[in-house]
Structure 1
Amino acid sequence: MDTVFIEGLEVDTVIGAYDWERDIRQCLRLDFSLGWDIRPAAAGDDLTQALDYAKVAEAVQAFAEEARFELVETFAERLAASLMKDFGIAWLRLRVTKPGAVPAARGVGVEIERGCR
């Protein structure tokens, strides 16, 4: 299985368990590894056979715009399921970082892996 990746995609969303967090948008930084067989696209230099990372990024932005979760865990699970279903991705690894959540840390978050590689 080949891997298509997107690193450092920043999205603004409503995320957090505290009351004050429910009224603001916060930045999340996302890193993706997406399992995809690139051979058909490469053989014919054919974008229609590729996993279009621009469309994936657009879908992620749209998801984040509508999301209203308390936990980054929920954000990660729901986003992973949505991408796998909508794009036919068999396997993915997703890292969600919430910068500034812990003042002494550059960021905190979760990393999940779903599907079969």
Structure 2
Amino acid sequence: MTDTVLIEGLAVETIIGVYDWEREVSQRLLADLEMAWDNRVPAASDDVSDALDYAQVSERVSAYLARACPQLLETAAEGIASLLQEEFGVRWLRVTLRKPGAVPAAAAVGVKIERGSR
């Protein structure tokens, strides 16, 4: 299966970082999610209950990041991957997390992970 459901540029405000000042302010993270999903069934039925509901995925990822308040982007990415695999049954995914403005000379810094198999 090579079908993919995408969510790009999901913006979430959360507390993240290792420095004392970062633990006191909310910062914006941008998440890109690529998730393997067999889109033939929802395409045939035209019914959202057969699809990987990207609104629900977005809500859960946003809620997780807002609640978890991790120190590292790596921790946040792993948590998102586990959530998507456990709660939504996603077999393969790629999570990209970006932290805009973290390094003044860069547009963003971030991590990208892949978990599971297609």
RMSD, matched Cα: 0.7
> Letter of the aligned partner of 1:71 in structure 2?
L
User: Helix, strand or coil: the match of 2:15?
Assistant: strand
Q: Partner of 2:30 in structure 1?
A: 29
The within-5 A match list for 1:69-108 is 69-108=70-109
Aligned mates of 1:69, 1:44 — CA distance in 2: 39
Aligned mates of 2:11, 2:109 — CA distance in 1: 14
Identity over aligned residues, as a percent?
56
The TM-score, its normalising length taken from structure 2, stands at 0.96
Gaps of 5+ in 1: none
Aligned mates of 1:73, 1:35 — CA distance in 2: 21
The TM-score, its normalising length taken from structure 1, stands at 0.97
Q: Partner of 2:117 in structure 1?
A: 116
Deviating above 2 A after TM superposition, structure 1's stretches of 4 or more consecutive aligned residues are none
Gaps of 5+ in 2: none
User: Helix, strand or coil: the match of 1:51?
Assistant: coil
